Amino acid sequence: MKYSIVYSSRTGNTRQLADALHASLPAEDCVYFGTPAPEALAADRVYVGFWTDKGSCDETVAAFLQSLPAGKEVYLFGTAGFGGSAVYFDKILDAAAANLPAGVRVVGRYMCQGRMPQAVRTRYEAMPDSPRRQAMLDNFDAALSHPDADDLDRLCRAVTAAL
Ligand SMILES: Cc1cc2nc3c(=O)[nH]c(=O)nc-3n(C[C@H](O)[C@H](O)[C@H](O)COP(=O)(O)O)c2cc1C
């Protein structure tokens, strides 16, 4: 089966997932690897990676998902700054999948946490002390090590299981 890997990554987290996937899938079946582009549509299955923006996939991926013709298979993967909740990840994946036209089949979904720029922590630090501020600081610090080797491995194993 021919496949493409399409990803959008501002700070490199989602790119790490895309690179791991690229290294683990059979190279001879890959027709495209890179940022959203029409060339990716030459494949039967498209692995689409995004960073989370306002609770959904970023807008370049949203536009790409909307452009997929019926009959394609899609595997969605993404990174988000807030982690620790499968329910939260599912909401983001549902919001991303809502961009898909009818007739495009989702064959798998995966999300993990991704570190955020230091400027975000600085903004939290400037807020008045509260349980919410502390929770955001704790989440920021927990995100710093992600995606880690285990996140990449879990993606590759999930994708292999869906082949
Ligand atoms: C403008 C902007 C909006 C974001 N919105 C969210 C959000 O709604 N939810 C979330 O969990 N993370 C959010 N994030 C965090 C990123 O999705 C997260 O750090 C991601 O791993 C970045 O991936 P990248 O390195 O591939 O760009 C946002 C980041 C930026 C810069």
pLDDT tens-digit series, residues 40-49: 999 999 999 9
138 has pLDDT over 90: yes
In the predicted model, is pLDDT for residue 136 greater than 90? yes
Tell me the average pLDDT across 155-162: 95
| pLDDT confidence band for 93 (50 / 70 / 90) | very high
Residue 8 beta carbon below 6 angstroms from any ligand 1 atom: no
d(CA 60, CA 49): 11
Q: Is 117 in the pocket of ligand 1 (CB under 6 A)?
A: no
Question: At 84, is the pLDDT very low, low, confident or very high (cuts 50, 70, 90)?
Answer: confident
What's the confidence (pLDDT) of residue 101?
98
Instruction: List % helix, strand, coil for the chain (3-state, nearest 5).
Output: 45, 25, 30
Of the chain, the end-to-end C-alpha distance in Å amounts to 9
Measured in Å, residue 51 CA sits from the centre of ligand 1 at 6
Q: Give distance in angstroms: CA of 159 to centre of ligand 1.
A: 23
Q: 160 CA to middle of ligand 1, Å?
A: 26
Cα four-point dihedral sign 98, 66, 154, 18: negative
Of 66, 78, 61, nearest to 18 by C-alpha is 78
Residue 62, both tokens: 């949203």
Q: Both tokens of residue 100?
A: 């898909």
Tell how strand 56-57 and strand 45-53 pair up: antiparallel
Distance of alpha carbon 33 from alpha carbon 4, whole angstroms: 6
CA 123 to ligand 1 center in whole angstroms: 15
> Which tokens sit at 105?
């089949």
| Predicted pLDDT at 70 | 97
CB of 148 shorter than 6 A to ligand 1:
no
* Whether residue 78 has its Cβ less than 6 Å from ligand 1: no
CATH fold for the domain made of 3-115+146-161: Rossmann fold (3.40.50)
pLDDT at 32: 98
Mean pLDDT of the chain: 97
Residue 9 pLDDT grade (very low, low, confident, very high; cuts 50, 70, 90)? very high
Q: Are 147 and 114 in contact (CB under 8 A)?
A: yes
Q: Is there a contact between 17 and 52 (Cβ–Cβ < 8 Å)? A: no
Residue 12 alpha carbon, nearest atom of ligand 1: 25
- pTM > 0.85: yes
pLDDT digits (tens, 9 = 90+) for 69-83: 999 999 999 999 999
CA distance 144 to 101: 35
